Amino acid sequence: MIEAWIGLGANLGDRAATLDAALGRIDRLSDTHLCAVSRYYFTPPWGDTDQPEFLNAAARVRTALTVGELLRGLLGIERDLGRERSKRRWGPRVIDLDLLLYGDQCIEGPELTVPHPRLHERAFVLVPLLELAPDLVIPGRGRADALLGQLDDNERAGIRPGPEAGYLPPNDDAKKR
C-alpha cells in the first residue's frame, strides 16, 4: 500500500454535497482506503477569478492501485459527478480531483505529473494538506509549511475554514492512521 494525497474542489452546485459524494466514491475505489479528510475551506478562485468561490479540501488515502489506475479512478469519479471538461482553463467546475502526491515519487508523463506541478504555488491546496500533515514534505520542493510561508499575502487571502466534511472515513480506517 502506498500513501497518496488528493486535492478536492468544487464551485458549482451544492459544493459540500459534491465533495462528500466524491469522498465516498474515493473510499469505494478498489484497493483504496480513505484515511483522513481535512475540513472544507472556502477559497477564492485562482487564475480565472470571474467565477464563484470554491470549496476545497484534501484527503489522504492508502492504495494498492498504480498511479495510473488511481488517476483513472479519480477521472471516472469526476465524470460520474458531472464534470465536463472545457477549454476554459481554471474555469468553474462541479468537481475537481487532483492527485497531488503518490508516496514520495516524482512522476512526469503526458497524462500526469506528481507532485502536482503547481501544488507549491497554491495556498488553497497547501492549507488543507497541512491540516492533515503539519510536517508534510513535498518531494523535490521541501516542507509544505515552508512553501506556504513563501507565498505572498494575496495568495493566502480569502482562504477561510468552511464546514466539516460530511463524509468521513469509517472508524476502522481511521484507526489505521
Exactly one of 15, 25, 60, 93 is catalytic; which is it? 93
Task: Write out the H or E segment, with its range, that includes residue 97.
Answer: strand 96-102
Strand partners, 113: 108
The three-state (H, E, C) secondary structure of 68-81, written as one string: HHHHHHHHHHHHHC
Among 50, 83, 104, 143, the one annotated catalytic = 83
Is 93 annotated in the active site?
yes
60 is known as an active-site residue? no
Q: To the nearest 10°, report the CA torsion of 138, 141, 147, 150.
A: 180
165 touches 39 (CB < 8 A): yes
Rounded to 5°, angle at Cα 59 from 50 and 21: 70
Catalytic site includes residue 80: no
Distance between CA atoms of residues 24 and 9, nearest Å: 15
One-letter amino acid of 25: R
C-beta of residue 128 within 8 angstroms of C-beta of residue 39: yes
Q: Has 156 been annotated as catalytic?
A: no
Of the residues 98, 156, 172, 173, only one is catalytic, namely: 98
**Catalytic pick among 28, 96, 145, 172:** 96
Residue 15, classed as helix, strand or coil, is helix
Place of cell 466539516: 164
Q: Which residues belong to the active site?
A: 83, 93, 96, 98
